[in-house]
């Protein structure tokens, strides 16, 4: 074994993570209706993966010099080839999972059918519906010299047919299947709970749309396009930054295709023709045995609402007993640091803090960094109220939050109209930090209240993602937060910090220094420990330091939800490293860093994963946990997740994940945290 054997390609690692999502769709211990959601999440994850990662790789393939993965040495072309092979395997697995799911739904009175399972009477009624309500709104076209191949919108469903005319000429026929009039799920008249997909109904009668041709072969197809705005280099210098972003978003809709999915096997001539029309190799055409768009599963779930056992037990965020909602939140934070754990605890105390700040006469300013916010954001409303009350409100709004750009542009207009000062960050770095600074002028002089989180200021995701939110009156932390806002507003970054870890210049290096300290302890024969809970691990500098630490004898525990480019358990290199991944009801999103043991242990919560894009190419913030009780609480969260053997899987040296059997009764950490939150709210004591 050599050190290069310790690395895994990030794209292939991500696909293995998404397979874990698919496994939950096939997990009989997950309620049936919820398994439908996991199948849809698997597909939407894969769509975004092609739109961003594969799109980027295909852009790199056009470079004059081949670009290589800095860990495995794979070129972009080799990565795309490996991706397409693995994705086809995963699609076959998804087909098996989906077939089982649909079979298990039938006893509950819900089913999808095709014409082979319809009675003649139902077939006639659906044909009449097609003739009257669908066909008039369709726009079929035959590809000829006079009618070129149409532009296919990203993820648009279309019927494609291989046509033969009476004189023997072959043509390609295309019918967009999104008419906006008939619902996606069409009820079967005589069978309550039975549905047919609109695109399948169109495909069945597609021959009626091409009167002069015989349909030799047909399928539903869907194209996926590159959506990576970073691949668009043309900038209009006559537009301001926000207008440029709007311009780039319009361009994204027409970026190059990266994948074509088809619902049935196609003859070679049709595959070749489609590849030529679209402009990529036939390997990018994938046969998928499930519906090409699974977003309809939410409608199937509605049919099952009468059976609560098919869904997760209802859970609602609890109020944190660390705060008395009848008292001033500001006063309580001045007394003691507060940590909120979402979604187990409610986001309401933070919203209440903003509301108090908007009305408190001692508050001079509110400064926040925003990355993704809810569509009807209460955070935005509180900031607007503060500005209207005469407070200085400064917002670092990152317009480049992928797929949220349009929402953020709209929010920027609302904030500016209310009198807030909006900054769009730095040209070279995305602002990804989750930072809020409230500045007060009291009888005792200038006072800071700082909130630092691991997740976005988004009321919707605060109920779906696990995140941590620290609220503190530590003046050293507040002063550094003020420096961050001032620096970014002047298109600068911090070069040094004392309390906070701040990327791009004061996070990776500080993490490496703390890892070096543990290596030194281990080499001196003392206990040494490093722990991290992150979404992804791709930063080669940090990975190499993990390997060095393992070789020195440091015990390393990593909770990595998604991409992990480090292979644990390789003798002589990573045999002191344990990596687990937890995929459950809620999306694991909080980041925790731990260095050391006993009294010298340092614990941080952070917005940054251990990815180069986070550690060196973004403005990120990690906050130290100084309060002893809060340190114990974060440690409890981490240690509990390391013992999760219901939703936690251990990563093996070959890159696969395996079940674990640790507890006499399997432990589901997320369910346990909710039970603890309920008990704490009732007893008034934090776990």
Distance of CA 151 to the CA centre of its chain: 28
Task: Render 48-80 in DSSP notation, one character per residue.
Answer: HHIIIIIHHHHHHTTSSS--B-TTT--BHHHHH
Q: Spot the catalytic one: 432, 499, 589, 636.
A: 432
Phi-psi region at 632: left, alpha or beta (left = phi > 0; alpha = psi -120 to 50): alpha
- Can you give the three-state secondary structure of 425-466, one letter per residue? CCCCCEECCCEEEEEEEECCEEEEEEEEECCCCCCCHHHCEE
DSSP conformational letter for 592: E
Q: What is the DSSP letter of 290?
A: S
For residue 254, give the 3-state DSSP assignment. Answer: coil
The answer to whether 191 touches 303, Cβ cutoff 8 Å, is no
Spell 246-274 as b/e; 16+ CB within 10 A means b: eebbeebeebebbbbbbbeebeeebbebb
- 432 part of the active site: yes
- Taking the CA atoms of residue 468, residue 471, residue 477 and residue 481 in that order, the dihedral angle to the nearest 10 degrees is 80
536 to each of 47, 49, 555, 676, how far by Cα in Å? 19, 14, 20, 27
The residues, any chain, with a CB within 8 Å of residue 220's CB and separated by 6 or more, are: 157, 158, 159, 160, 177, 199, 200, 203, 262, 263, 264, 292
Q: Is 198 exposed, middle or buried (0-12, 13-18, 19+ CB in 10 A)?
A: buried
**Catalytic residue list:** 432
């Amino acid at each position: 074994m050599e050190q290069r054997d310790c690395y895994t390609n990030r794209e292939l690692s991500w696909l293995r993570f998404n397979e874990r999502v698919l496994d939950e769709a096939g997990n009989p211990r997950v309620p049936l209706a919820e398994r439908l959601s996991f199948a849809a999440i698997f597909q939407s994850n894969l769509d975004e993966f092609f739109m961003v990662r594969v799109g980027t790789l295909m852009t790199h393939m056009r470079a004059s010099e081949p670009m290589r993965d800095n860990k495995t040495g794979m070129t972009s072309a080799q990565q795309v080839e490996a991706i397409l092979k693995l994705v086809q395997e995963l699609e076959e697995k998804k087909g098996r999972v989906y077939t089982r799911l649909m079979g298990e739904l039938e006893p509950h009175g819900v089913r999808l059918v095709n014409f082979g399972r319809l009675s003649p009477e139902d077939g006639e009624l659906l044909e009449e519906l097609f003739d009257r309500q669908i066909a008039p709104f369709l726009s079929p076209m035959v590809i000829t010299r006079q009618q070129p191949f149409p532009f296919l919108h990203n993820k648009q469903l279309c019927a494609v047919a291989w046509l033969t005319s009476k004189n023997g000429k072959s043509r390609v026929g295309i019918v967009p299947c999104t008419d906006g009039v008939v619902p996606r799920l069409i009820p079967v008249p005589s069978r309550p709970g039975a549905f047919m997909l609109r695109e399948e109904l169109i495909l069945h009668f597609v021959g009626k749309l091409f009167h002069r041709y015989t349909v030799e072969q047909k399928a539903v197809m869907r194209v996926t396009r590159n959506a990576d705005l970073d691949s668009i280099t043309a900038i209009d210098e006559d537009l301001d930054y926000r207008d440029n972003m709007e311009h780039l978003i319009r361009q994204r809709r027409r970026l190059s295709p990266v994948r074509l999915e088809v619902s049935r096997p196609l003859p070679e001539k049709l595959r070749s023709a489609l590849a030529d029309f679209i402009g990529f190799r036939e390997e990018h055409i994938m046969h998928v045995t499930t519906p090409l768009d699974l977003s309809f599963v939410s409608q199937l779930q509605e049919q099952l609402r009468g059976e609560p056992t098919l869904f997760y037990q209802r859970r609602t965020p609890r109020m944190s007993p660390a705060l008395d909602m009848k008292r001033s939140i500001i006063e309580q934070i001045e007394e003691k640091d507060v940590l909120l754990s979402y979604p187990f605890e409610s986001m309401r105390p933070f919203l209440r803090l903003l509301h108090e700040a908007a009305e408190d006469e001692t508050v001079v300013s509110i400064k926040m960094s925003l990355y993704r916010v809810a569509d009807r954001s209460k955070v935005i409303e509180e900031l607007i109220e503060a500005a209207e009350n005469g407070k200085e409100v400064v917002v670092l709004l990152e317009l480049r939050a992928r797929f949220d750009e349009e929402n953020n542009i709209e929010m920027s207009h609302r904030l500016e109209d209310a009198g807030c000062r909006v900054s769009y960050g730095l040209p070279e770095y995305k602002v990804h930090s989750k930072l809020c600074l409230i500045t007060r002028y009291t009888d005792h002089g200038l006072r800071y209240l700082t909130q630092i989180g691991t997740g976005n200021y988004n009321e919707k995701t605060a109920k779906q993602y696990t995140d941590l939110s620290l609220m503190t009156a530590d003046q050293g932390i507040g002063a550094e937060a003020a420096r961050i806002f001032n620096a970014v507003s002047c298109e600068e970054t911090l070069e040094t910090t004392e309390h906070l870890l701040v990327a791009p210049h004061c996070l990776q290096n500080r993490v490496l220094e703390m890892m070096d300290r543990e290596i030194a302890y281990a080499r001196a024969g003392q206990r040494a420990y490093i722990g991290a809970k992150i979404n992804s691990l791709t930063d080669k500098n940090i990975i190499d330091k993990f390997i060095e630490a393992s070789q020195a004898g440091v015990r390393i525990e990593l909770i990595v939800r998604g991409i992990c480019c480090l292979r644990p358990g390789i003798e002589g290199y990573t045999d002191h490293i344990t990596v687990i991944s937890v995929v459950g009801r809620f999306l694991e999103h909080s980041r925790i860093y731990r260095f050391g043991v006993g009294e010298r242990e340092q614990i941080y919560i952070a917005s940054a994963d251990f990815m180069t894009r986070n550690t060196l190419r973004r403005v990120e913030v990690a906050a130290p946990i100084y309060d002893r009780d809060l340190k114990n609480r974060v440690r409890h969260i981490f240690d509990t997740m390391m013992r999760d053997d219901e939703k936690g899987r251990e990563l093996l040296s070959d890159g696969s994940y395996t079940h674990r059997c640790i507890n006499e009764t399997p432990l589901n950490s997320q369910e346990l945290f909710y039970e603890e939150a309920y008990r704490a709210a009732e007893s008034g004591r934090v776990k």
